[in-house]
A and B are shown apart, each in its own frame.
Chain A
Amino acid sequence: MSVHAQVWHLRVIALARASPTGAVGLAIMLGFALVALLAPLIAPYDPVKPFTDHVLVEPDARFLLGTDGNGMDVLSRTLHGARYAYGIAIPVLLFGFLIGVPIGLYAGFRGGWFDEITLRVMDALRVFPSIILALAIVSATGQSLANVVLVIGMLDVPVFARLVRAEVLALRSSGFVEAAINAGNPTWRIVLVHLFPNCIRGAMAQMPIRMAWAVRVSATLAFIGVGIQAPTPEWGAMIRQGAEYMVSGEWWVAIVPGFALVILIIGFSMFGDGLEELLDPRRNTSSR
């Protein structure tokens, strides 16, 4: 085992000790990531292949988790759904982070009109319920997967910008930044080298929570039927398909993808809680 692998190994143990919740969350996240990567190999059937004479079959030996209203295998579809969950959550996160963090850094450091406008826009965005906003924009600008990602990512921008901006404001007048300024460093160097590494902690800790949010919002959009349509093996779209069978007894069509969705979101949240504990230990040890 190389040195790197050993250090990594020790880190995982340290994480598990410091925060069992976070470790369980990480395990769930990695498990689903593995499923997403291997879905074509481990799924028993093609997720969009209809077995027309096996519609709404109860879970049995052939279809382990039953079939849906089109006669498609629910297990295969649920496994493939993990690809959509990660396929949406990761680009959404990157979009929000890569655009939100620079905005927050610049707004916090520069202040002035740029900061003022950023604040106003972020305030105005807070007024809308995000689901409604996402729904309105996606259905107005064209319904495609790329658009769903773009819109949800856009809604993530103010979250990261706000977090980073607050940290920059707190650090701007601290000793090391002042020293860097007085030593004659150019602005870009102060922002990138001195402020950036010290200001992204909060944003990093929020990442899993934002992923959970992205998965939830995209599933809700698909459930409503915006952006992602029916035969696509995406969990929200599958739950929509199964919703009508919920009152007639064919529970597996909606419950199976629903559970996958819930477990992955809980995994993200647990990992997020763990990160928060590790990055901000004050929270947990205070007031015994």
Chain B
Amino acid sequence: MLAIVQLILRRLMLALPILFGVLLFTFMLVRLGDSDPVGMLAGPTASEAEIAAIRATYKLDQPLLAQFLEYARRVAHGDLGTSWLSNRPVLTELLQRLPATLELVLVGSALGGFLGVWSGMRAARSVNGRFDQLSRLLSLFGFGMPTIFLGLALIFVFFFVLRWAPPPMGRIDLMITAPPVITGSYLVDALLARDLEAAWSAAGRMVLPCSVVAIVFAAPMLKQTRAIALDVRASDYVRYARTAGLPHPMIERIVWRNSAVPIITYGATELTALFGAASVLELIFSWGGVSQFGLTAILKADFAVVQGYVLMMSAIAMLVFALSDLLVLKLEPRAHEAGR
């Protein structure tokens, strides 16, 4: 228990400077660029005075350092600024759209993670066996398929040709009233409200995009799991267990137990990358989650939203890494001592 508290404290200490770095980086980035939101906001007919007034409102006429300190002070108080496009608080906008992205990424990665790890372990059991070769072939395709093309290809096959999937437009049928917001996930909310029709519609909309996430996640997981399990299988302790005549299920258990830690560590890195992949995917499926929102903000030079979005993504990534560390600690108490 003490070890866990220590770990969390250490993580927090490490996270703060990184978050500060991220803050500074995105702040400089959006200001060094040549995109000028004031021009967009003011419109083509604005006079010099009007532009100056807008600059003053957003404090853009002050020196960079003053702007940054002001920004950092506000962020520390939970104020991420206001979107220049919608004129609403960035934090509200982001939090409102976060559940949609989480729903997509978590369901997809749970499916993909299970599939990838299970087949990776199984493939490692007989190298170059039929299952191994098949799964390597499939993972090669999973690797090769860029998210954009995989999404479009699935839409074409399952929506246009076979007419099995619902149209790739949003998270629920337009004709169906969205359930009252509790968690923000349409599926969960509809189930909580016992609205089966809405739940069915939401689940149907999730099938294709979640499959894409699952495939994108499963391919590298399969490959890495296979490599890790192969190393474990070649280790002295497994060889010893085998010569000692332990029954098969027991050996498999030893292999699994010893592979789990590196698999989790690797999976955490891949999981954070999924949030990037989700942005394009949400665009294709008009998902309307936070990643699509951030992407649009980048394209439209909505500074405050871009900064808030990147900050949120970094915080999520650090949270994922921290959780994976906790899980590792649970599985392998020795890791804590080695980590120092």
The 8 A CB mask of B9-46 against A (1 = contact, 0 = none) is 00000000010011000100110111100000000000
A:77-118 near B, CB below 8 Å? none
Interface size, A (range): 35 or more
Within the complex, the shortest CB–CB distance from B105 to chain A, in Å, comes to 11
Stretch at the interface among A159-167, A194-202, A221-229: A221-229
- A270: which B residues are within 8 A, CB to CB? 140
Q: A129-B276, A139-B299, A142-B33 are in contact. Are A220 and B146 (CB under 8 A)?
A: yes
Which of B18, B152, B160, B277 is packed against the most chain A CB atoms within 10 Å? B152
* B298 and A136 contact, CB distance less than 8 A: yes
Chain B residues with Cβ below 8 Å from A130 are 273, 276
Query: What's the minimum C-beta distance from B300 to chain A, rounded to whole angstroms?
Result: 9
A254 within 8 A of B: yes
- A239, CB-defined interface residue at 8 Å: yes
Point out the residue from B159, B269, B318 that lies within 8 Å of A247, measured CB to CB. B159
Measured in the bound complex, the distance between the Cα atoms of B22 and A115 in whole Å is 20
Please indicate the chain A residues that have their CB under 8 angstroms from the CB of B318 in the complex.
127
Q: Which residues of chain A are within 8 angstroms of B115 by Cβ–Cβ distance?
A: none
Tell whether A126 is near chain B: CB-to-CB under 8 Å: yes
Do A265 and B230 touch across chains, with their CB atoms under 8 A apart?
no
Query: Shortest beta-carbon distance, B189 to chain A, in Å?
Result: 27
CA distance A126 to B21 in the complex (A): 13
Stretch of B72-80, B106-114, B180-188, B279-287 at the chain-chain interface = B279-287
- Given A141-B33, A224-B283, A258-B153, are A129 and B273 neighbors across the interface (CB < 8 Å)? yes
Q: Indicate if A61 sits at the interface (CB-CB under 8 A).
A: no
Known contacts A127-B318, A139-B33, A254-B152; A287/B143 CB under 8 A: no
Task: Give the nearest-CB partner of B314 in chain A.
Answer: A127
Query: Are B148 and A220 touching (Cβ within 8 A)?
Result: yes
Knowing A128-B314, A132-B276, A287-B127 are in contact, say whether A226-B29 is a contact too (CB < 8 A).
Answer: no
Tell yes or no: A236 within 8 A of B by CB.
yes
B158-174 at interface with A (beta carbon < 8 Å):
159-160, 167-168
Are B33 and A283 in contact (CB-based, < 8 A)? no
**Binding site of A, secondary structure by majority: helix, strand, loop or mixed?**
helix
Query: Assuming the A-B contacts A124-B18, A126-B269, are A132 and B155 also in contact, with contact meaning beta carbons closer than 8 angstroms in the complex?
Result: no
Contact A255 B269 (CB under 8 A): no
A183 CA to B233 CA in the complex, in Å? 42
Q: How far is the CB of B239 from chain A (nearest CB, A)?
A: 9
Q: A197-225: which have CB < 8 Å to B?
A: 212, 216, 219-220, 223-225
Are B234's CB and A287's CB within 8 A?
yes
Q: Is B333 an interface residue (CB 8 A)?
A: no
Q: B residues within 8 A CB of A219?
A: 146, 148
A128, B314: Cα distance in complex, Å? 6
Whether a CB of chain A sits under 8 angstroms from the CB of B260 is no
Residues of B within 8 A of A131 (CB): 276-277, 279-280
Contact partner of A128 (CB less than 8 A), chosen from B168, B227, B231, B310, is B310
> Nearest chain B CB to A1's CB is how many angstroms away?
34
Find chain A residues with CB under 8 A from B273 CB: 129-130
Please measure, in the bound complex, the distance between the C-alpha atom of A258 and the C-alpha atom of B124, giving whole angstroms: 32
CB distance from A129 to the nearest CB of B (A): 3
Q: Are B143 and A265 in contact, CB atoms less than 8 angstroms apart?
A: yes
List of B residues within 8 angstroms of A132 by Cβ: 275-276, 279, 294-295, 298, 310, 313
Pair B155/A246 contact, Cβ less than 8 Å:
yes
**Does B141 count as interface, using CB distance less than 8 angstroms?**
yes
Q: Which residues of B contact A127 (CB under 8 A)?
A: 18, 22, 272, 314, 317-318
Q: Mark A249-284, 1 if CB is under 8 A from B, else 0.
A: 101001100100111011001100100000000011
Is A135 positioned at the interface, with any CB of B under 8 Å from its CB?
yes
A136 touches B26 (CB 8 A): yes
A182 at the interface (CB under 8 A from B): no
Closest to B318 in A: A127
* Chain A residues near B58 (CB-CB < 8 A): none
CA gap between A191 and B333 in the complex, in Å: 38
Q: Is the CB of B152 within 8 A of A128?
A: no
Q: Is A137 at the interface (CB under 8 A from chain B)?
A: yes
Give Cα distance in the complex from A254 to B306, angstroms: 30
- In the A-B complex, the 10 residue pairs with the closest CB atoms: A129-B276, A140-B33, A266-B144, A286-B234, A287-B233, A131-B276, A258-B149, A265-B144, A287-B234, A127-B317
Question: Can you give 14 A-B contacts (C-beta < 8 A)?
Answer: A129-B272, A132-B276, A139-B299, A140-B34, A141-B34, A224-B280, A224-B299, A225-B299, A246-B152, A247-B167, A262-B146, A273-B140, A286-B231, A287-B238
What 9 additional pairs, Cβ within 8 angstroms, besides A136-B29, A139-B301, A220-B148?
Answer: A124-B21, A132-B276, A139-B33, A224-B280, A225-B299, A236-B148, A239-B149, A247-B160, A255-B153
